[in-house]
């Protein structure tokens, strides 16, 4: 079957199994046939039983078993567990890393549309200041920082130049080539997939753009970057100040690019809550994930919101290979 969709069950200590079950019931038969869940068959059955869910699942040895079925197809990844949840961190970590590695390898195939990973606690990736975006970028052999974290819905997208790093390290990580590469990646995506030239805003780093002091990052790095970007024919404005843009002026733009994670994600989530998905651009394949965490406090309470995961599947279905 062409255009297979890989769904990674993600962190086993999470609401992910609840989301997968609820989303599966919402999908049409055509989509069900295309989805391959990278998970552990026995664990998933145990979690469904614990949550009092009933659905047909089937264990596959490999993705080449082109079974045209509406059953939930599981590509098995080993994991040690005694209870359905509260799995030891070392076992959960190995499971997550092996799942991501499996998905990366399979996503390089021409018959795979892309990857969706359910939420993962970053500590399971075993490296400081790294999330799934950075992990898969490394697996793809990317070293130029051109990969992009894009938090997106049908009204707005935001993207941070730096992602999962400490605040004190941000100014040292901001470089002209990184800003230019990321803007080019975003612009190309919109032109190729969305079929329009995006209007892009770039924020400064400091409060009030440091009043444009000569020694500021705005003067030394951000403004020169914007001037070079404009020469490429890309529609870009900035540097703009973050403390007022998200009041109302954000509506003028398709994409707002900030210098660090919370500078754009915090106001975006204040406005749109979790009405978004997390898209990674610039990899060798398309990867998306729900824009929320593992929500361990909601396990077993039947309160998990499936909207973001549903949008991920719709996104891959529309824009994947």
What is the per-residue pLDDT for 146?
Answer: 66
144-275: which CATH architecture?
A: 3-Layer(aba) Sandwich (3.40)
pLDDT by residue (tens digit) across 151-190? 999 999 999 999 888 999 999 999 999 999 999 999 999 9
Whole-angstrom Cα distance, residue 21 to residue 39? 13
Please give the average pLDDT of every successive group of 10 residues along the chain, which has 321 residues: 87 96 94 95 95 91 78 95 93 96 95 95 84 88 78 95 90 92 95 94 94 93 97 96 94 97 95 91 93 89 91 93 79
pLDDT at 65 (0 to 100): 74
Within its chain, how far is the Cα of 4 from the centroid?
18
Q: Which residues pair with 287 in a beta bridge?
A: 115, 280
Domain ranges of the chain: 1-142+283-321, 144-275
Burial label for 237, CB within 10 Å (0-12, 13-18, 19+), is: middle
Under 8 Å between Cβ of 175 and 221: yes
Cα 42 from Cα 205, distance rounded (Å):
48
Reduce the DSSP state of residue 131 to 3 states and report it. coil
What count of other Cβ atoms lies within 10 Å of the Cβ of residue 83? 9
CA atoms within 13 A on the CB side of 19: 35
Q: Output the 3-class SS for 233-251.
A: CCCEEEEECHHHHCCCHHH
Written out in words, the top-level CATH class of the domain with range 1-142+283-321 is alpha beta
Q: Model confidence over 199-234: pLDDT tens digits?
A: 999 999 999 998 899 999 999 999 999 999 999 999
pLDDT of residue 129: 67
């Amino acid at each position: 079957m062409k255009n297979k969709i890989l769904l990674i069950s993600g962190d086993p200590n999470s609401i992910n199994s609840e989301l997968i079950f609820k989303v599966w019931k919402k999908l049409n038969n055509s989509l069900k046939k295309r989805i391959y869940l990278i998970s552990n068959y026995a664990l998933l059955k145990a979690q469904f039983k614990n949550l009092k869910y009933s659905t047909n699942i089937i264990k596959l040895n490999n993705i080449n078993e082109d079974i045209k079925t509406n059953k939930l197809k599981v590509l098995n990844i080993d994991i040690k567990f005694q209870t359905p949840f509260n799995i030891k961190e070392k076992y959960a970590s190995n499971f997550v890393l092996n799942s991501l590695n499996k998905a990366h390898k399979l996503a390089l195939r021409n018959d795979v549309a892309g990857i969706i990973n359910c939420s993962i606690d970053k500590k399971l990736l075993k490296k400081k200041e790294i999330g799934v975006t950075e992990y898969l970028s490394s697996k793809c052999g990317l070293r130029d920082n051109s990969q992009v974290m894009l938090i997106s819905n049908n009204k707005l997208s935001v993207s941070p130049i730096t992602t999962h790093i400490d605040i004190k390290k941000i100014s040292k990580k901001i470089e002209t080539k990184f800003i230019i590469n990321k803007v080019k990646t975003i612009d190309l995506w919109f032109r190729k997939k969305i079929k329009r030239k995006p209007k892009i805003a770039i924020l400064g780093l400091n409060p009030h753009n440091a009043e444009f002091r000569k020694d500021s990052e705005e003067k030394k790095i951000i403004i020169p970057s914007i001037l070079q970007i404009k020469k490429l024919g890309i529609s870009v404005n900035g540097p703009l100040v973050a403390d007022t843009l998200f009041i109302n002026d954000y509506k003028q733009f398709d994409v707002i690019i900030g210098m660090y994670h919370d500078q754009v994600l915090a106001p975006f989530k204040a406005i749109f809550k979790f009405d978004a998905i997390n898209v990674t651009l610039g990899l060798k394949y398309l990867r998306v994930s729900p824009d929320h965490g593992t929500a361990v406090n909601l396990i077993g309470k039947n309160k998990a919101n499936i909207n973001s995961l549903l949008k991920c599947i719709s996104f891959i279905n529309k824009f994947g290979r």
